[in-house]
Amino acid sequence: MALLLVRRMDATSFFRQNENCFFSDGKACAAYAWRHDKRTCRKIIGLADQTVRQEFVFNLRWDLEQTAKPVVFPTTIDWLKQPGDDPEFVYAFNRMHYWLTLGQAYVLTGNEDYPRAFVRQLESWVHEVKKEDPASAKAWRSIEAGIRMEYWMKAIRYFKSSPAITPEVLELFVSSMRLHMEFIMGIWDSYNLLSNWGVLANHGLFVASAMLPQDGFTEKCTKEAIRRLDAELRIQIYDDGVHWEQSAMYHNEVLHDYLDVLILAKAKHLPLPQGFPERIHQMATAAAIWQKPDGTEPQSGDSDRIDQRDLVQKASIVFCDPFLRSKGGKHLCYDALWDVGAKHAALYEAMAQRKDNFLMHVLQDSGQVYYQHGGTYLRFKTGTLGAGHGHADQLHLDVFARGQDILVDPGRYTYVPKSDRYEFKDSASHNTLTIDGKGSYACKDSWEYSKMSKAFGLNWKEKDKLCFFQAGHLGYYQDGVFVTRRVIVLSCDLIVILDAIYADRPHVMESHLHFGPQGKVTVDGTDFAYHGVKTDVFFKTVNAEAITQEDTRYSERYNQAVPNDSLTIIRKTDGFASLYTVMSIGKPVEVEKAPVKSNFKGTLFPDEKVEALRVNDWIVVTSHQEWGSPTDSFNVCGHTGWGQCVVFRAEDNDIGTVLEY
């Protein structure tokens, strides 16, 4: 594929056509960034200096696959170099996210070294990485081409005042962008319709076609990009706003792309299909709901621990949404600033905020429950796998409290198909149940599963400042086992986890718990405690037989892992079995079983039907089978009640709070 010939143009006319796209006043953006985030400004300049020296490291906030050690090219850049066993370096290298640092550093400092480095590297890449060359295949995947179009089109705008951007440079730049557009226009199939790859590729097609000098070809590309992006948006996003691949990071990458489309379409006065903005608004709302108190996204599926507030901030501006604004923080953060411009910073800071009064949000279609109150955050995961980026995390529970992670998702660490990949995807690496030492899913390779698990029975209730949620799954139906988990939140400091299996023959039930790496775990019999930097958390178990302690790994970012403590709570059973884990944040908890009596028959219920716990001053009654026949109620510690999950306060004399009928 040869470079397309384009009309030579001067920089003034090239940049004038996009004056209102994304940031419009570089000097004002730079002043705001220096005023509110000197640390990031200095980091960007440092990374740009490395890029000038041809030392490449990927550690920006939204670098999808990060690296820690720079790869250095003393003379000529080898754009296809793969320093280890992971091709992700080649992919990231050929996305050119680091060119944004060159552009932003230029606006922050005025140093002409940055645009000169941009031009040298642009000329090198265009002449050496040919689409028609099979050796360049890793650099010319459709996802890289799409991301590249965004970064190139944004990067060059930072250099609009530089003499390095000559008519010859612009001709080369535009010719290559048009080749990228031609390439993406030729790719459209069922895989791209359903995968985030399609969104990233066609988002790039839209950005390039809308921002390049206009003619019949660019107009055709813009219309086709909108058509494809609309189809992808309608099929890939659940009605609850969550991207179907069940990865917060890839959801946010897709959200970033669609926010770009809205921002650019408004600047260019381009019409969008009916329902298009509304579905993106749903995506942003879902992201705001799952945001942890420290501003980070959950590490669901293939996700890193990333502060996502730049996306929530951009969405709050695009949609003028006070709920989103309440999740964004005081000032516009660095990454959001360059996509909306300094003119929106004052608007953002003055925007009204609205915090809802709910303790719990349920994203029903994707199978996610979120509890947030008093600095405590819970995330419960059920629902679909999410294909290759999904992990074997049915019934997984995250807990964040008092400024730190308590129970954590392990992250992803690598995409290379080896033991590390399978370790981080496995059921036993999540805060969930396994049976007989087997996971509920089985990896076939890095992306495919040979055994899967359908979720059932997501149910929830928020009532009288109490919260309840539950689900089960069929991951062990071949072994004759049905697995369920219930979570009862008595307060932001007191949580009851009830796991149960239904079976008709002997099995070993294992509940896995993985703790934040900032603390240590101590075990005393079948009780234990987590001693964190900011708080201690105390755990009591009921019906456990043993606890084993393991040294495991936790990965905040791709290619990085640190040791963390993990426990496995074990119960052996001949059939049905229940296992309670009570966690108390900040102070020890008193837990004991309480007998449950039939008021009608005057007999005690067996544990396999109804159980009750006294938890400090609370009484929690849970049933495992339907029990109310003929016209019966139960009595526990002098309290009469009816229902499948009922909570009493010790001083109550009434029927308690029914959380499940």
Residue 365, judged by CB atoms within 10 A of its CB (0-12, 13-18, 19+), counts as middle
By 3-state DSSP, what share of the chain in percent is helix, strand and coil, each rounded to 5?
A: 35, 25, 40
Question: Could you report the per-residue pLDDT of 571-618, keeping only the tens digit for each?
Answer: 999 999 999 999 999 999 999 999 999 999 999 999 999 999 999 999
Question: CA 558, CA 189: separation in Å to the nearest integer?
Answer: 29
φ, ψ dihedrals at 445, nearest 5°: -155, -160
Strand 482-491 vs strand 466-473: parallel, antiparallel, or unpaired?
Answer: antiparallel
Contact 47, 76 (CB under 8 A): no
- Tell me the whole-structure pTM to 2 decimals: 0.95
Question: DSSP 3-state assignment of 259?
Answer: helix
Q: What is the DSSP string of 407-460?
A: E--------SSSHHHHHHHSGGGSSSEEETTB-SSEESSSS-EEE---EEEEEE
DSSP class of 374: T
DSSP class of 646: E
**Under CATH, which number does the domain 360-589 receive?**
2.70.98.70
Question: Could you report the per-residue pLDDT of 218-250, keeping only the tens digit for each?
Answer: 999 999 999 999 999 999 999 999 999 999 999
Question: CA 645, CA 634: separation in Å to the nearest integer?
Answer: 12
User: Domain spans of the chain?
Assistant: 15-350, 360-589, 590-661
Average pLDDT value for residue range 326-330: 94
Average pLDDT value for residue range 141-154: 97
Q: What is the largest CA-CA distance in the chain?
A: 94
* Tokens coding 86: 């992971």
Task: State yes or no: pLDDT of 1 exceeds 60.
Answer: no
Residue 26, judged by CB atoms within 10 A of its CB (0-12, 13-18, 19+), counts as buried
Question: CA 17, CA 160: separation in Å to the nearest integer?
Answer: 12
Question: Could you report the per-residue pLDDT of 519-548, keeping only the tens digit for each?
Answer: 999 999 999 999 999 999 999 999 999 999
pLDDT interval class at 629 (50, 70, 90): confident
Question: CA 557, CA 262: separation in Å to the nearest integer?
Answer: 29
Average pLDDT value for residue range 492-507: 97
Task: State yes or no: pLDDT of 6 exceeds 60.
Answer: no
pLDDT interval class at 8 (50, 70, 90): low
From residue 8, how far is each of 2, 150, 171, 177, 180 by CA, in Å? 17, 22, 6, 14, 19
Q: What is the model's pLDDT at position 4?
A: 54
Question: CA 165, CA 204: separation in Å to the nearest integer?
Answer: 22
Task: State yes or no: pLDDT of 301 exceeds 60.
Answer: yes
Name residues whose C-beta falls within 8 Å of residue 54's C-beta, 6 or more positions apart in sequence. Answer: 72, 73, 74, 77
HSE of 31 in the Cβ direction (CA atoms, 13 Å)? Answer: 7
Candidate CATH numbers 1.50.10.100, 1.25.10.10, 3.40.718.10, 2.60.40.3080; the one for domain 15-350: 1.50.10.100
DSSP class of 388: G
